[in-house]
Structure 1
Amino acid sequence: MSPQRFELLIGLYGDDRMAAILSEQELIASWLKVEAALATAQAEAGVIAADTAAVIAGAAVPATIEAGRLWRETRNVGYPILPLVRQLDEALPHEHRGRAHYGATTQDIMDTGLAVQFDAVGGRLTELTDAFGDAIAALATAHAHVVIAGRTHALQAVPTTFGAKMAGYLGELARDRARLVRAREEMTTVSLFGAGGTSAAYGEHAVKVRTRVAELLSLRASDIPWHVSRDRLAEFGAACALLAATCARFAREVVDLSRTEIAEVSEAAGHLRGASSTMPQKANPIESEAVIGMAVTAGALSSALYRIMEAGHERAAGEWQAEWQVLPQLAALAAGALGTARAVAEGLQVFPEAMRRNLGADSGLVMAEAYMIGLAPRLGRENAHDLVYAAARRCRATGESLQAVLSDMVPGEAAGAVAELRPEDYVGHPDVAIEAALARWRDRG
């Protein structure tokens, strides 16, 4: 094969175990596992001799295949299974040749091999999701009562707690994980249906053989051909993109809260970590940026999943090839995003003093809703809203505090409602959200 381009983003931030699962060696090995299982199942059904199946299974190992030759011949054929089977057949004693790949078509082997490979992919993504979720759960627990300005439309809104903010991410991750588990279950389905999906070449034992291959490979059996029904793959790819997007939402939060003017959190510190080549003061949120980059790429790639589903008749003509490029990249990007987001969460520095200081910014207007709700029983909601709105405008014009302005503006009969309120007195019910998120995470299965 020609030299492979270096992917800078995945090369720096990818997951090594995922890279191994998606490697050339494991790809070839997955096809050989299917060929071995097919021969074994066919022998048990009496389609081929038992000793022949044993010889095929013994030869169906990566050491049998010369990868350079495989890819050169694949470039000519267009698909790798014919060249693979030729090499496998050549490795057999003469009396056992011509029985490997009996009745199968190329896509049977590649799709079933994909199911084997992506079972491992799904397992690794689940592990990475669990590790990231555990790190978020730790943040939610540790900072359950650390008060921070909640922000809507990028502006301060009402007080909340940093733990409650983290609870939202934990709930999202729990849903992401559930989607991944479902997608993995569907993805790991055997595909042995022959050239046109009719199983004709497998003969009278087609169902028995297919079911046994599924058992041998720990896959789900199905009697419905899916050579061109690619919704399973689209669902799995979408689950990858959603996982990456959740990671990016967390990373974006870290980037935004790390801004110099806000400075409420920061990535882990270290010598030259996030340094600039020209601005010595910089400590950029480099891992969060990488997470966002991987998620942006995954989101863009995911659009191809729905084009892949357009495959027509009984076999795709180009859409299938798109899968070869898109699915492994989505898995690698999701793994990289999850692992890097976990590192950000585990090393995150949280600055409650800065959070407290920022709550007093903008004349303390983060408490405007609290005062409005306090005045509403006396003045009516709309009158209370308009009075606090007018007070807010005056605060911004004069720099006075909201409490001081309201003390001056509120009618005497409602004066008791404008006693000074603290942000921690108006955070709602963070413990409810946090406990619910933690419970859902503990019960994720």
Structure 2
Amino acid sequence: MTSADGDDTGLLAPGWAGSPAATATGDTAWLQALLDAEAALTRAQAVLNLVPSGAARAVTRAADAGRFDVRSLAERARAGGNPVIPLVGDLTKAVGEEYGEEYGSYVHRGATSQDIVDTASMLVAARTLDLVLGDLDRTAAALARPAAEHRDTAMPGRTLTQHAVPTTFGLKAAGWRALVLDARDRVRTVRDSLPAQLGGAAGTLAAFGAYGASDPTALPAAYARELGLRAPDLPWHTLRTPVADLAGCLAFTAGALGKVAVDVLTLSRTEIAEVAEGSGGGSSAMPHKSNPVRSTLIASAARRAPQLAATLYGSMAAEDERPAGAWHAEWEPLRDLLRLVGGAARDAVELAEGLRVRADVMRAHLDLTHGLIVSERLSAELAPVLGRARAKELLTRLAAEGRPLAEAPELADVDLDPTHYTGSAGALTDRALERR
């Protein structure tokens, strides 16, 4: 077998394969995060004079993912149910062989496996969310351009798939941008709140007191500072707010980007063709096609994300002080969510920056209903003259006849131009674009 004997390279996951998020959430990245957590724990204890500073330096130097066999760790993790158990043995051995057994004895001192896995999860999440934040900012900036440029570009407003009344593409793009900014703000809030995890075997910090800490409660904050994470208020082994917050913001982001994607998918259909992706993908059998691939992949992520988030929410029902199964059930869906949203955010940048708008097609589509797209306005204007019932009867009859309203003598003096009936779309677009 080739490809590193079956490593998950994303063959069936084009939405994230090859993206920065794929690297940030790969096995090597998770392994490095586990090692970063172990090294930071030793450094934090050194700051509080619980271990020699030389031991902290030794563990930090040894904590390099390139020195360890990730496949072997994964296979040996089956015995104890998590990768930290074999990793601690390998890291202890590496430190002992290079710096002496005494320094090796300080690896993982006082911690439990969940402290390290949870902290590593927060590190991986933080690093991935930083990528997502950058891409959401770029997407919002890219969407601001067509929103401003097409502030007054009229197009059919569609409700329940049918033409309703005119709107503008500027307002549509401004709405997309607003959703992207909503997602960015949620991601930023969660990113800044991600905590380290440290509680020891049952969340009491007892082992650190046994090892000589005069105030073990000072250690989690020192640990968090070493990692650039927030200091936890309490150990959260079965208080899974941080994971639930991640689930929520990631699922929201997938949905927000999904809204943009499905609108583009609809508007880029051959028979509509009001927009197009800048670099459509080809077909293996039909050379005339230019598929909206970026939108397709984003829409795929949006459909998968809620189910992954549901698993993470379900794991909040975690029994006792440390759970059996609920915690373990989080690892894969959390990584999948981070990968999917990271890939979707990168695709959204390409989609927004390359989007092509066909204003002439939008204008032509306004005439497909032969003037009926402004029937709402006609009803309001004719009611004072003809009475509400007669006005409705007239418009209903003209619609049934299927002839252009411009040919109706009763409407000879009425403004039927759909571009004159976009309401406050321009003002709403301006207001939306003020947001930063």
Which AA in structure 2 matches 1:421? Answer: L
Q: How far apart, in 2, do the equivalents of 1:56 and 1:261 lie?
A: 63
Choose which of 109, 113, 118 in structure 2 pairs with 1:102. 109
Q: How far apart, in 1, do the equivalents of 2:60 and 2:26 lie?
A: 22
**Same amino acid, percent of matched pairs:** 34
What is the Cα deviation at residue 303 of structure 1? 2.0
Distance 1:24 1:13, change over 3 A: closer
Q: String of CA shifts for 1:359-401, please: whole Å, max 9, x gaps.
A: 1112221111121122234345565444433432333xxxx11
What is the Cα deviation at residue 355 of structure 1? 1.1
Instruction: State how 1:253-268 maps to structure 2 within 5 Å.
Output: 253-268=263-278
CA contact (8 A) 2:146 2:173 kept: yes
Does 1:216 find its partner at 2:226?
A: yes
What is the Cα deviation at residue 13 of structure 1? 4.9
CA contact (8 A) 1:160 1:427 kept: yes
Which AA in structure 1 matches 2:22? Answer: A
Which AA in structure 1 matches 2:253? Answer: L
What is the Cα deviation at residue 350 of structure 1? 1.6
CA contact (8 A) 1:276 1:283 kept: no
Distance 1:439 1:403, change over 3 A: same
Distance 1:213 1:269, change over 3 A: closer
What is the Cα deviation at residue 103 of structure 1? 0.8
Choose which of 104, 121, 124 in structure 2 pairs with 1:114. 121
Does 1:10 find its partner at 2:10?
A: no
Residue 370 of structure 2 aligns to a residue in which SS?
Answer: helix
What is the Cα deviation at residue 274 of structure 1? 2.7
Runs (5+) with no aligned partner, structure 1? 409-414
Residue 215 of structure 2 aligns to a residue in which SS?
Answer: helix
Runs (5+) with no aligned partner, structure 2? none
Does 1:285 find its partner at 2:292?
A: yes
- The corresponding residue for 2:200 is 194
Does 1:43 find its partner at 2:43?
A: no
CA contact (8 A) 2:132 2:346 kept: no
- The corresponding residue for 1:52 is 55
Distance 1:276 1:383, change over 3 A: farther
Q: How far apart, in 2, do the equivalents of 1:383 and 1:177 lie?
A: 51
Does 1:274 find its partner at 2:282?
A: yes
Q: How far apart, in 2, do the equivalents of 1:384 and 1:172 lie?
A: 39
Q: How far apart, in 1, do the equivalents of 2:405 and 2:18 lie?
A: 50
Residue 392 of structure 1 aligns to a residue in which SS?
Answer: helix
Q: How far apart, in 2, do the equivalents of 1:2 and 1:77 lie?
A: 23
Does 1:21 find its partner at 2:44?
A: no
Residue 203 of structure 2 aligns to a residue in which SS?
Answer: coil
- The corresponding residue for 1:75 is 78
Which AA in structure 2 matches 1:120? Answer: R
Residue 388 of structure 1 aligns to a residue in which SS?
Answer: helix
CA contact (8 A) 1:274 1:285 kept: no
Which AA in structure 2 matches 1:104? Answer: A
CA contact (8 A) 1:81 1:109 kept: yes
- The corresponding residue for 1:315 is 322
Does 1:251 find its partner at 2:258?
A: no
Q: How far apart, in 2, do the equivalents of 1:425 and 1:94 lie?
A: 81
- The corresponding residue for 1:134 is 141
What is the Cα deviation at residue 9 of structure 1? 4.9
Which AA in structure 1 matches 2:358? Answer: F
- The corresponding residue for 1:232 is 242
- The corresponding residue for 1:411 is none
What is the Cα deviation at residue 147 of structure 1? 1.0
CA contact (8 A) 1:42 1:209 kept: yes
Q: How far apart, in 2, do the equivalents of 1:123 and 1:253 lie?
A: 27
Residue 13 of structure 2 aligns to a residue in which SS?
Answer: helix
Q: String of CA shifts for 1:159-199, please: whole Å, max 9, x gaps.
A: 1111111111111111111111122223x201111111111
CA contact (8 A) 2:156 2:167 kept: yes
What is the Cα deviation at residue 334 of structure 1? 1.0
Residue 363 of structure 1 aligns to a residue in which SS?
Answer: coil
Does 1:438 find its partner at 2:433?
A: yes
CA contact (8 A) 1:267 1:344 kept: yes
Structure 1 length normalisation: TM-score? 0.89
- The corresponding residue for 1:424 is 419
- The corresponding residue for 1:86 is 89
Does 1:344 find its partner at 2:351?
A: yes
What is the Cα deviation at residue 124 of structure 1? 0.8
What is the Cα deviation at residue 269 of structure 1? 5.3
Q: How far apart, in 2, do the equivalents of 1:420 and 1:344 lie?
A: 37
CA contact (8 A) 2:195 2:242 kept: no
More displaced, 248-257 or 377-386?
Answer: 377-386
- The corresponding residue for 2:170 is 163
- The corresponding residue for 1:364 is 371
Q: How far apart, in 2, do the equivalents of 1:206 and 1:9 lie?
A: 47
Distance 1:162 1:275, change over 3 A: same
Q: How far apart, in 2, do the equivalents of 1:419 and 1:110 lie?
A: 70
What is the Cα deviation at residue 280 of structure 1? 4.0
Distance 1:9 1:367, change over 3 A: farther
- The corresponding residue for 1:412 is none
More displaced, 13-22 or 356-365?
Answer: 13-22
Q: String of CA shifts for 1:129-175, please: whole Å, max 9, x gaps.
A: 11111121111112111110111111111111111111111111111
Which AA in structure 1 matches 2:138? Answer: A
CA contact (8 A) 1:276 1:282 kept: no
Q: How far apart, in 1, do the equivalents of 2:406 and 2:300 lie?
A: 43
What is the Cα deviation at residue 62 of structure 1? 2.1
| RMSD of aligned Cα (Å) | 2.1
More displaced, 84-93 or 380-389?
Answer: 380-389
